[in-house]
Structure 1
């Protein structure tokens, strides 16, 4: 998949990176972002689609002091069971509260960085909403929360803010327009040759042509 970084002021493509078919675009994102910063681009804010809404990216943006706006990703909970958002997190006491007001205290953290909050099976056994909450044999409900979840929640708040909404709208005029032009006007809808190196070459050439057109138009307006 072609990943692009665009300068918002002039809508120039400043980075093109093609990932292999078995690698998600989000995996190399932070390293490509650092590459942009290392060559002199002062990145203050980024607007990304929902595929980039991962805890490592959200934490990475926070550590780099970059304002991140990422589209909402729709998760589909198990049909018939409560969605996670119905469980309220109490940050001061570090526990979750279920829809029936039972507390789920912290239990342990797994090797992937997810903290587990578990209910009391004795209380759950007599709960009238048990079948809508969990199907575990021991009647215990477990809710997980990543250790970097706070960073992810901040990105969600950014998306809902006025500046976040304005920035994401700008993405449609830059990133999405760049992809659309590449596909519609420059033959990038299909790869001309097989192999990752050949696709990278096509992506770079396409981006170069798009940038030359934009620079020419900009110079013409100045003249």
Structure 2
């Protein structure tokens, strides 16, 4: 999916029909840096579903790692730090632990299964999430997403089921 194409399509709809768009509701596939930045530049409020990633069985969930905004780092359950490492092309920031420090940790088995004893903690949207919101233009609210599910997803389901567009 070309995400810039999605913003171009939105621009086309606004220009063609003269819509005064204040907010858009999107599914979780659109929760990316370029989409959020484009919506912010257009001063459009984005309501985007959040993907819930589950940790592997036996490993600490992401919530056990606390973010220290003053020093831009994460603190693990054993009070050791994960420092910022890099940002990938999709906008995910990676925080990594020191393998030498982690190799002797009593909580290592619950933290990571990596061979070099290093924990890598990716965060989405260019920063950590704070109570269901990111630092970008996105907010997760139930009512607009519920309306989207009723209006949009129903028509997609009808198209797939009734009009043979399942594999289109």
Q: Residues 109 and 157 of structure 1: is their aligned pair in 2 closer, same or farther, counting only changes over 3 Å?
A: closer
TM-score by length of structure 1 reads 0.59
Tell me, in whole angstroms, the C-alpha distance in 2 between the residues paired with 1:49 and 1:118. 30
The match for 1:15 is none
The match for 1:4 is none
Tell me, in whole angstroms, the C-alpha distance in 1 between the residues paired with 2:5 and 2:142. 25
TM-score by length of structure 2 reads 0.74
Tell me, in whole angstroms, the C-alpha distance in 1 between the residues paired with 2:135 and 2:92. 18
**Structure 1: gaps of 5 or more residues:** 1-23, 200-223
The match for 1:137 is 115
Q: Residues 35 and 102 of structure 1: is their aligned pair in 2 closer, same or farther, counting only changes over 3 Å?
A: same
Larger Cα Rg: Structure 1 or Structure 2? 1
Contact preservation (8 Å) 1:95, 1:117 = yes
Q: Comparing both structures, which one devotes a greater share of its residues to helix?
A: 1
Q: Residues 73 and 144 of structure 1: is their aligned pair in 2 closer, same or farther, counting only changes over 3 Å?
A: closer
Contact preservation (8 Å) 2:30, 2:48 = yes
Q: State the shift of 1:57 in Å.
A: 2.2
Query: Which among 131, 134, 139 is matched to residue 158 of structure 1?
Result: 139
Contact preservation (8 Å) 2:83, 2:96 = yes
Q: What SS does structure 1 have at the residue aligned with 2:55?
A: coil
**Structure 2: gaps of 5 or more residues:** none
What is the number of equivalent residue pairs in this alignment? 163
Contact preservation (8 Å) 1:109, 1:116 = yes
Tell me, in whole angstroms, the C-alpha distance in 2 between the residues paired with 1:29 and 1:61. 11
Runs of 4+ aligned structure 1 residues displaced above 6 Å come to none
